[in-house]
Amino acid sequence: NATPAVNLAIRRKLCMHQGCSKRATHGDISANKPLFCTLHVPAQPPHNATIGFLVGKRCQYPEGCRKRPAYGASARHPPTRCYLHRPATWVNTVRSRVIRRHSVSRSA
């Protein structure tokens, strides 16, 4: 049986790492249940599990990809592909948004 703290973490979808209160985003792909935050993904997954990103948008590569998208057709387009599956002309729209946001806040 799991401890009450573990049960609470599962219900709230929090990271299973003791003392962590971040949202769980990674877990065993076959179970499709997020268990860990990005910081606490185990280096050696238990029982030959395949750990992957389970929460949020994923790369829209037609043959399937579980990575987060960061690249779009231009800085004004939403990201739909990861670095590995982006066409050569696409740009990192996530990074360009962060840079734009910081430059606007500094000029104010």
H helices present in 2-58, as ranges = 4-12
% of the chain at pLDDT higher than 70: 77
Direct distance between the N- and C-terminal alpha carbons of the chain, in angstroms, rounded to an integer: 55
Q: What is the mean pLDDT of the chain?
A: 81
80/43: higher pLDDT: 80
12-38: average pLDDT: 88
Q: Is the pLDDT assigned to residue 45 strictly greater than 70?
A: yes
Enter the pTM of the model. 0.54
pLDDT over threshold 70, residue 9: no
> At residue 3, what is the residue type?
T
Please report the pLDDT score of residue 89 as a whole number: 93
